């Protein structure tokens, strides 16, 4: 198969629009390196792009994406750990100041875990990865306490909280958080609505941000 033509078309559009307007920024970034203040741990779902959601320019976000935006617990066992390596680089090399765990609605990985789906392959990589959600599912409670959609939303948000708690198992990061040098945040994106909610640290609830602007946008008739 040849390289996808729509990607080449997209690159052409990038050349004449964004690159032309931001070429100086790209050149500066190539010379002095990156220094983002924010790291985003997001799902690899194609509908949830942190750069698009936060309207971020080049060099502004250090993004790590995986199935269901999971942060595994600290495990210095000599094995390969992608998320842990990214955390180590973000903290030690880039001096990240904020870490955002971004969950989202209609997450396929969360749904597969909730429904105890059959493995997609003999290796069941997804199943083993999603097993890290077990603490979140335990805190969410039995499925019968809510409608299927409400339960999935609760589990998706509990999964964000579980990842935030797992961040605290990394000794160096925990020390930086306790000293106030790094802050961690939970966020949740509604794919259908486009509404972003941020977790309130005191109450633990996910509360919509820019709610008035969002309401006005969707109140405007579209033709």
* Predicted confidence (pLDDT) per residue in 23-76, tens digit: 999 999 999 999 999 999 999 999 999 999 999 999 999 999 999 999 999 999
Band of pLDDT at residue 9, cut at 50, 70 and 90: very high
* Predicted confidence (pLDDT) per residue in 136-184, tens digit: 999 998 877 778 899 999 999 999 999 999 999 999 999 999 999 999 9
Q: What is the CATH number of the domain that holds 132?
A: 3.40.1050.10
pTM for the structure as a whole:
0.93
pLDDT for position 210: 87
pLDDT for position 165: 97
The arithmetic mean of pLDDT across residues 191-196, rounded, is 95
- Alpha helical stretches, state H, 70-170: 82-88, 108-114, 125-130, 134-140, 148-167
Same domain as 22, residue 105: no
Q: Which residue has the higher pLDDT, 51 or 118?
A: 51
pLDDT for position 67: 96
Same domain as 133, residue 29: no
Same domain as 163, residue 70: yes
pLDDT for position 41: 98
Quick check: 223 pLDDT over 60?
Answer: no
Q: How confident is the prediction for the chain on average, in pLDDT?
A: 93
* Tokens representing residue 151 in the block: 């339960």
Same domain as 114, residue 64: yes
Torsion over CA of 46, 52, 54 and 55, rounded to 10 degrees?
Answer: 170
Same domain as 93, residue 116: yes
Same domain as 103, residue 150: yes
pLDDT for position 195: 95
Quick check: 221 pLDDT over 70?
Answer: no
Band of pLDDT at residue 5, cut at 50, 70 and 90: very high
Same domain as 103, residue 23: no
Same domain as 171, residue 123: yes
Cβ-Cβ contacts under 8 Å for 130 (sequence gap 6 or more): 67, 68, 70, 109, 110, 112, 113
Q: Taking a C-beta distance cutoff of 8 angstroms, is the pair 112, 131 a contact?
A: no
Closest CA to 208 of 192, 194, 223, 219: 194
Q: What is the Cα Rg of the chain in Å?
A: 19
Q: How many distinct structural domains can be found in the chain?
A: 2
User: What is the extent of the structural domain holding 142?
Assistant: 36-219
Same domain as 205, residue 131: yes
Same domain as 166, residue 77: yes
* Predicted confidence (pLDDT) per residue in 77-103, tens digit: 999 899 999 999 999 999 999 999 999
Same domain as 75, residue 171: yes
Same domain as 111, residue 213: yes
């Amino acid at each position: 198969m040849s390289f996808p033509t729509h990607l080449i078309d997209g690159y052409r559009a990038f050349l004449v629009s964004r690159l032309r307007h931001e070429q100086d920024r790209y050149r500066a970034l190539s010379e002095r390196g990156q220094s983002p203040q924010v790291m985003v741990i997001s799902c690899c779902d194609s509908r949830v792009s942190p750069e698009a959601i936060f309207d971020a320019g080049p060099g502004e976000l250090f993004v790590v994406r995986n199935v269901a935006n999971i942060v595994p617990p600290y495990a210095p066992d000599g094995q390969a750990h992608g998320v842990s390596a990214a955390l180590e680089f973000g903290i030690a090399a880039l001096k990240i100041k904020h870490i955002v765990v971004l969950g989202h609605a209609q997450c396929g990985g969360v749904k597969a875990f909730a429904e105890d789906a059959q493995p997609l392959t003999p290796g069941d990589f997804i199943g083993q990865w999603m097993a890290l959600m077990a603490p979140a599912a335990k805190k969410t409670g039995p499925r019968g306490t809510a409608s299927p959609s409400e339960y999935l939303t609760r589990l998706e948000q509990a999964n964000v909280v579980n990842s935030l708690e797992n961040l605290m198992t990394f000794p160096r990061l925990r020390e930086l958080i306790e000293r106030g040098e790094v802050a961690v945040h939970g966020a949740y994106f509604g794919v259908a609505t486009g509404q972003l909610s941020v977790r309130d640290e005191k109450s633990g609830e996910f509360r919509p941000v820019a709610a008035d602007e969002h309401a006005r946008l969707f109140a405007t008739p579209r033709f």
